Structure 1
Amino acid sequence: MQIKHRLFARPAMDGDGVNIRRVADFERLQLDPFLMVDEIKSDDSSDYIGGFPPHPHRGIETFTYIRKGGFEHRDHMGNVRAIRAGDVQWMSTGSGVIHSEMPLADAKEGLHGFQIWLNMPAKDKMRPARYQDSSTMAKPRHDNGRGASLYPLGGQWQFEGDKVDGLIQGLAADGAVADLSLASRGRAKVDFSGFGFAGVYIHSGELKDSQGRSYFAGEYLQLEPADSELLAGDQGTGVLLFGGNPIREAIVHMGPFVMNTQAEIQQAIRDYQQGKFGELSL
């Protein structure tokens, strides 16, 4: 595991007062094609009960993964889904989406989940929106016999020498996301060499590098895209894995919109204000 950059999640608030931890880079684009990782992790419902009321997006893909608890998703395309523990959901927002994500009333054991933003290439930003989730899919995990279990969420992975398909395919920029669990002192071999960008976000426990240095929950490590061995400390660890191919296009970001020019941002605002994104039926 060769580390290029080390970032730290920062406390933030979004939606209707939802407390999150966020890693984001909309300026230097170090995480290209990824833009942001938001983590919600709390057993106190006051941290997330307000949820994310109806709001728009344009020009990005959102990839949501729930580890505990759940949300109800609604969008202007007519999709209404309960996204529960183990589920993933993908929206390629393209020219525009209006959606909401509200905590499930029957999920009373806390909430742990992520929303990940991927940039879209300029050529795709105005295509029609697309939606997919894994709520009706089998959810296989891959164990390596060395204390590691890979849950492939999206894209394609090389894990312990084998090709592994994620639940959702077709992410922008060949994006790939997986959840890797390592028992105490567990090891896993992940080949990132097929990607131009590689990263891991530690969501629990302790991860070690080959020199024995420790990294902990809330840290995002950008890696050299190479064949890497990941090693857990004594308490084990859980990490999200990221792979993709950088888009390398300048962007302009304003709230829920990510476009390539300021004029496109202003057009997105006008289109939303004029009702061109559609309506959300509640």
Structure 2
Amino acid sequence: MATTTATSYARVARKLRGQAASDGAGVKLTRVIGSPQLDMLDPFLLLDEFGTDKAEDYLAGFPDHPHRGFETVTYMLDGRMRHKDNHGNEGLLLPGSVQWMTTGRGLVHSEMPEQQEGRMRGFQLWVNLPKTNKMDAPQYQEFPDARMPHVQPAAGVDVKIIAGEVDGARGPIVQPATSPVYLDITLAPSASWEYALPEGHNAFAYFFEGDGSVGHGEEARALSSQELAVLGGGETFAVQAGAKGGRLILVAGRPLHEPVARYGPFVMNTKEEIMQAFVDFQSGKF
């Protein structure tokens, strides 16, 4: 007699709203991960949402600043941002594009707006690197909107795949250390979808347009725009949009289970390694 395995649904273990913050040369943003209410969600160290129509909120940009020991993921929804580093790399992030930068042993980087007016909107996510990769050479994975597949896995559901796999389609970003999933999900009014998360991954969902609910049955919890749900307790992610529809990112990654020492733009495993990063930066080794 065949046996069936009951679906194990992820529930909302925590729900929280981001806090107003500023970074770079005063760019206004909302810090969702990396604040006192949620310091990190291994391997994710920080999630910032930026979004404004006011040029004075973003024109100063993010001038030259160093990084070591982790990855920064910039997802542009609206606007244009030019990045440069001290190794001669340069590129322009356009609406819908993604840059996955592995800072490794160190670089000096800038991100500056390529517009004087209009809407600037997007996300920056920091992903930790394991100790064995923290001193690797810096590298970039950068893809325009057109390189990222879209699938419609259910009625009224569109999924843009940045990293991970949905219905046999794979996103272009690959990182063996954390095997990330990064999906941009658009839901028509009252549309619903279920997705099998990789086993053992930590995951979160963040509504940035509209609203809906996350979880299954009686355990489903409502989420409004700019609310993050930390997921736990099961491998199947279930989401349903509210009456006006919704849009959210779903992000998951394999936790590293390593000690984290962080100070500003450096993320290492020990305090001594952080001190060495400062020495190396000040002596020009980046």
Q: What's the TM-score once normalised by structure 2's chain length?
A: 0.89
Task: For residue 229 of structure 1, report the CA deviation from its aligned partner.
Answer: 1.9
Greater Cα shift, 212-221 or 225-234: 212-221
- Provide closer, same or farther for how the CA distance between residues 30 and 238 of structure 1 changes in structure 2, counting only shifts above 3 A: same
Preserved contact between residue 149 and residue 170 of structure 2 (Cα < 8 Å): no
In 1, Cα distance between the equivalents of 2:22 and 2:68?
21
- Provide closer, same or farther for how the CA distance between residues 267 and 30 of structure 1 changes in structure 2, counting only shifts above 3 A: closer
In 1, Cα distance between the equivalents of 2:230 and 2:113?
31
1:280 is matched with none
Greater Cα shift, 244-253 or 194-203: 194-203
In 2, Cα distance between the equivalents of 1:232 and 1:195?
26
In 1, Cα distance between the equivalents of 2:172 and 2:81?
19
Q: Aligned AA for 1:237? A: G
2:104 is matched with 94
Task: For residue 203 of structure 1, report the CA deviation from its aligned partner.
Answer: 1.1
Q: CA deviation digits over 1:205-229, x for unaligned, max 9?
A: 1021444642112211111251122
2:228 is matched with 220
In 2, Cα distance between the equivalents of 1:29 and 1:39?
16
Task: For residue 165 of structure 1, report the CA deviation from its aligned partner.
Answer: 1.1
Correspondent of 2:257 among 232, 248, 254:
248
Task: For residue 198 of structure 1, report the CA deviation from its aligned partner.
Answer: 1.5
Correspondent of 1:49 among 34, 37, 59:
59
Q: CA deviation digits over 1:81-129, x for unaligned, max 9?
A: 11011100011111001111001127x4301111100011111111111
Preserved contact between residue 81 and residue 112 of structure 2 (Cα < 8 Å): yes
Correspondent of 1:274 among 276, 280, 283:
283
SS at 1:174's partner residue?
coil
1:206 is matched with 211
- Provide closer, same or farther for how the CA distance between residues 192 and 83 of structure 1 changes in structure 2, counting only shifts above 3 A: same
Preserved contact between residue 208 and residue 225 of structure 2 (Cα < 8 Å): yes
Q: What's the TM-score once normalised by structure 1's chain length?
A: 0.90
Confirm or deny that 1:31 pairs with 2:41: yes
1:126 is matched with 135
Preserved contact between residue 195 and residue 243 of structure 1 (Cα < 8 Å): no
Output aligned runs, 1:133-172, within 5 Å. 133-135=142-144, 138-154=147-163, 156-157=164-165, 159=166, 162-170=167-175, 172=177
Q: Aligned AA for 2:239? A: L
Task: For residue 51 of structure 1, report the CA deviation from its aligned partner.
Answer: 0.5
Task: For residue 67 of structure 1, report the CA deviation from its aligned partner.
Answer: 0.6
Structure 1: tracts of 5 or more residues without a match:
278-282
Tell me the percent identity: 35
Greater Cα shift, 51-60 or 142-151: 142-151
Preserved contact between residue 95 and residue 145 of structure 2 (Cα < 8 Å): no
Confirm or deny that 1:173 pairs with 2:191: no
SS at 1:144's partner residue?
strand
In 1, Cα distance between the equivalents of 2:118 and 2:152?
27
- Provide closer, same or farther for how the CA distance between residues 116 and 172 of structure 1 changes in structure 2, counting only shifts above 3 A: farther
Output aligned runs, 1:12-23, within 5 Å. 12-23=21-32
Q: Aligned AA for 1:243? A: A
Task: For residue 195 of structure 1, report the CA deviation from its aligned partner.
Answer: 4.3
Aligned length: 272
Q: Aligned AA for 2:54? A: D
In 1, Cα distance between the equivalents of 2:93 and 2:200?
29
Q: Aligned AA for 2:134? A: K
RMSD: 1.9
Structure 2: tracts of 5 or more residues without a match:
1-9
Greater Cα shift, 240-249 or 17-26: 17-26
In 2, Cα distance between the equivalents of 1:54 and 1:171?
29
Task: For residue 66 of structure 1, report the CA deviation from its aligned partner.
Answer: 0.5
Correspondent of 2:238 among 222, 229, 242:
229
Q: Aligned AA for 2:55? A: S
Task: For residue 136 of structure 1, report the CA deviation from its aligned partner.
Answer: 8.3
In 2, Cα distance between the equivalents of 1:131 and 1:168?
10
Greater Cα shift, 266-275 or 22-31: 22-31
Q: CA deviation digits over 1:244-269, x for unaligned, max 9?
A: 11101111110000111111001001
